[in-house]
Structure 1
Amino acid sequence: MRARLKSHWFLISLVLVFLIGFFASESLTPLLEMTTLRSAIVFVVMGSMGITLPAESVRQSLRKPLPTLLAIVINILVVPLMCWPMRAYLPAPIFGGLFVAALVPCTLASAAVWTRKAGGNESIALMTTVVTNLACIAVVPTGVALVLAKTTQLSVVDQVWNLTWVVVIPIVLAQTLRIAGLANWADQQKLRLSFLAQLGILSMVGFGSIASAMVVRDAMQQNASLFGIQIGQLLVSVAMLHVAAFALGVFAARAVRADRSCQIAVGIAGSQKTLTIGLQIAIDCGVSVIPMLMYHFTQLVIDTVIASRWSDASKFKTKSNVVTSNRS
């Protein structure tokens, strides 16, 4: 029991933090006005994860760039395009939140971990993470301006400025510190830095849950049954979006004759989205944060199951090869 709790402490904490923020939202609402605090938390999370990204992964992915390019294109362009038709049946605030989730970059926290667990090419996942996070200062404001202009009053300039400060600068600063001689220290402190980043993510979930409670209260007062139907539609939409992007990544990599490890990496890195930046953007834009939270939980559950199956399949294949080799 203790081992299981230790293994799943982050998911359990996510649920607890969300419930506390949701049900205590009336007293915690003033926290949403602390924009500097939220930005500082995102800065620390991005810096903590950024300093652990090895430069060697960039060199490895550049030797065979096509799978990495596939993952980047799917993450940046294809996922938002697949999300677009969902505006036909989702209410504007919920669709806005889902579109923000589709726009934000690949997650720093789990893409490489899940890829490694599944037996995939970790360098592709890491390179996709770096590129999509750096590119988000152009991708997110452009997407918001084109699709959500009527939903949000946040200007493109403000979005670019905010994302530069909380995403680009901490990643560049972190990589500069690695080059300056902190690479060994960062590698030795990887678990602690990851834990610090996870605490930051939990803090952002707290902000998101407070904002969610406000949205839910308003929707429930208007039409509780309709809101329940909309949440059900959202859950199905989120699962479909993630699975479709995941499958597209695998089959696209297979179509260009990439090996199995690359197929796994493209599927995972192309479909995963970062919770930290997504919540920050959703709150700033005034759209629902529920889709971002739901997307994050969904990708964790789905990718955990898929990665575990791939890992078991790899172990079984390895074991079979050993047995065959011994017999011969």
Structure 2
Amino acid sequence: MHPFFRRHWFLLLLLGVLAIGMAFAPELVGPLSQFPRGWLVALVMFITALPMSLSQITGAISNRRAVGLALLLSIVAAPPLAWVIARVLNDQLGIGLIVAACVPCTLASAAVWTRRGGGNDAIALVVTLVTNLACFLVLPGWLSVLLGKEDYSLDAGALSLRLLMLVVAPVMLAQLLRSSGIVMNWAGKYRVELSTAAQLGMLAMVLFGAVSAGNMLRTIEPGTVNLMEWSLMIGCVLGSHLLLFAAGWIGCRALGEPHGNQLAVAIAGSQKTLMIGLDVALAFGGLAILPMVAYHIIQLVVDTMLVDRLGVKETD
């Protein structure tokens, strides 16, 4: 295989999946609706956690500086940062950017991207767990403070149960299976293959997101957003994400953390989940979904390039 394709295969497939999902959303939405997306999320979380030892996860939890910084960026810094940046956007687009900043770290991809770059994926996994489990309090709390209204719906109980099943249960099952020496040795032996499988699983999840986003974008009347507004929105979304990524990277380095922790904090502190974001953004009008969709696409593409450049070591 040509060195370029060997190094950038994931980015090329990612761009292809995004393009196909967005372009053929009406044709794909029906068949994909029959596929249990939740099981795919759980499977990726399981595969991601299987090569991790319990000591890695507990070690990440005890690394208060790195985990604390990532949580600070994701939960505390991101929403007010988006509120400030959103001042230059029209009302619905600005609200959409704020919603994108308030949702938790994206399921699975933060850990998968971190592992791809040879970073400390246990830290990314812990941040994913904490932000998703806390989002039923964090999300409505921030939206109430920043938007001053509560005309959105969020079933906290159902959301918590779903996240427990999709995020916590697969990680616990993986750790339970690792108590068997056979499984532990097998997971260690095939760590690279499991990492590749997790990345392919993420591409399947990206297809779901691209189809969902593409289908929703078709509900927006043509010409509702002009080219200048599109460009400004994309610039705001890109700026928000890069500021959080840079804060995680530089802040973690300032704390004296190793390179692998810097990568984990930068990714987990800046990535946001499309799954929850789209549902909440729709409550504020069709245009509010645009920043959420843009954030999803930008974080996937930009972080893939950043990980390939900043990563400790290629793991695919």
* TM-score, normalization by structure 2: 0.78
Q: In 2 relative to 1, CA 8–90 (structure 1 residues): closer, same or farther, beyond 3 Å?
A: farther
Deviations, residues 284-304 of structure 1 (Å, cap 9, x unaligned): 446435121222222222444
In the aligned structure 2, how far is the partner of 1:24 from the partner of 1:132?
34
Decide which moves more: 68-77 or 143-152: 143-152
Counterpart position of 1:318: none
Q: Shift of residue 32 of structure 1? A: 6.0
Q: In 2 relative to 1, CA 261–301 (structure 1 residues): closer, same or farther, beyond 3 Å?
A: closer
Decide which moves more: 260-269 or 193-202: 260-269
Q: In 2 relative to 1, CA 9–98 (structure 1 residues): closer, same or farther, beyond 3 Å?
A: farther
**Which structure has the larger Rg?**
1
Name the amino acid aligned to 1:130. Answer: L
In the aligned structure 2, how far is the partner of 1:164 from the partner of 1:231?
36
In the aligned structure 1, how far is the partner of 2:2 from the partner of 2:111?
27
Q: Shift of residue 272 of structure 1? A: 4.2
Q: How many residues align?
A: 294
In the aligned structure 2, how far is the partner of 1:156 from the partner of 1:93?
25
Deviations, residues 34-87 of structure 1 (Å, cap 9, x unaligned): 4x6111111111111011223343465567642342233223332233223344
Mapping 1:130-169, distance limit 5 Å: 130-146=125-141, 147=143, 152-169=152-169
Q: Secondary structure at the match of 2:206?
A: helix
**Contact 2:78/2:102 (CA < 8 Å) preserved in 1?**
yes
Deviations, residues 197-220 of structure 1 (Å, cap 9, x unaligned): 222222222222222223333335
**Contact 1:90/1:234 (CA < 8 Å) preserved in 2?**
no
Name the amino acid aligned to 2:175. Answer: Q
Q: In 2 relative to 1, CA 23–71 (structure 1 residues): closer, same or farther, beyond 3 Å?
A: closer
In the aligned structure 2, how far is the partner of 1:128 from the partner of 1:215?
33
Q: Percent identity among equivalent residues? A: 20
| Structure 1 residue 296 corresponds to structure 2 residue 300 | yes
Q: In 2 relative to 1, CA 99–297 (structure 1 residues): closer, same or farther, beyond 3 Å?
A: farther
Q: Secondary structure at the match of 2:112?
A: coil
In the aligned structure 2, how far is the partner of 1:180 from the partner of 1:111?
26
Q: In 2 relative to 1, CA 193–227 (structure 1 residues): closer, same or farther, beyond 3 Å?
A: farther
Consecutive unaligned residues of structure 2, counting only runs of 5 or more, are 283-288
Consecutive unaligned residues of structure 1, counting only runs of 5 or more, are 117-121, 312-328
Deviations, residues 210-234 of structure 1 (Å, cap 9, x unaligned): 22223333335242xx243343223
In the aligned structure 1, how far is the partner of 2:28 from the partner of 2:150?
28
Decide which moves more: 43-52 or 198-207: 198-207
Counterpart position of 1:210: 211
In the aligned structure 1, how far is the partner of 2:215 from the partner of 2:150?
20
Name the amino acid aligned to 2:209. Answer: G
Greater percentage in helix: 1
* TM-score, normalization by structure 1: 0.75
Q: In 2 relative to 1, CA 252–234 (structure 1 residues): closer, same or farther, beyond 3 Å?
A: same
Picking from 85, 106, 111, the partner of 1:108 is 111
**Contact 1:47/1:173 (CA < 8 Å) preserved in 2?**
yes
Counterpart position of 2:187: 186
**Contact 1:17/1:206 (CA < 8 Å) preserved in 2?**
yes
Counterpart position of 1:324: none
Decide which moves more: 243-252 or 166-175: 243-252
Counterpart position of 1:99: 99
Q: Secondary structure at the match of 1:299?
A: helix
Q: Shift of residue 263 of structure 1? A: 7.2
Counterpart position of 1:264: 262
Counterpart position of 1:47: 46
Mapping 1:227-246, distance limit 5 Å: 227-246=226-245
Name the amino acid aligned to 2:233. Answer: L
**Contact 2:249/2:265 (CA < 8 Å) preserved in 1?**
yes
Name the amino acid aligned to 2:207. Answer: G
In the aligned structure 2, how far is the partner of 1:40 from the partner of 1:266?
25
The RMSD of aligned alpha carbons is 3.2
Counterpart position of 1:172: 172
| Structure 1 residue 221 corresponds to structure 2 residue 222 | yes
Deviations, residues 147-203 of structure 1 (Å, cap 9, x unaligned): 288575341222111111111111111122223332221122222222322222222
